[in-house]
Amino acid sequence: MIDMEYDLLWVALHEIGHVLGLDHTRMPMSVMAQFYVKSLDRMGYYIEPRLSTADIEDIQEIYGERALGR
């Protein structure tokens, strides 16, 4: 048996990305990475999920950039 813990926030953000039309990426710290990334660093500190530049660019490619003033 493999002992693995999952961070619900990371998993939820990843799945929301799929709902919005994003595919997996090869960028390791992207929310849309192909493989689950542990949410703790080497020292055991929590890594808060943040959208990478690639994640933002990919979603803008689908939906366009945010229009200011709306």
Active site residue 15: yes
Helix (H, G, I), strand (E, B) or coil at 33: strand
Residue 29 counted as an annotated binding residue: no
- Sort 39 into a burial class: Cβ within 10 Å, 0-12 / 13-18 / 19+: middle
- Among residues 5, 15, 48, 65, which one is catalytic? 15
Contact 6/43 with Cβ under 8 angstroms? no
Residue 32 counted as an annotated binding residue: yes
Contact 23/15 with Cβ under 8 angstroms? no
Q: Which residues are annotated as a binding site for Zn(2+)?
A: 14, 18, 24, 32
Question: Which residues line the annotated binding site?
Answer: 14, 18, 24, 32
Please give the positions annotated as active site. Answer: 15
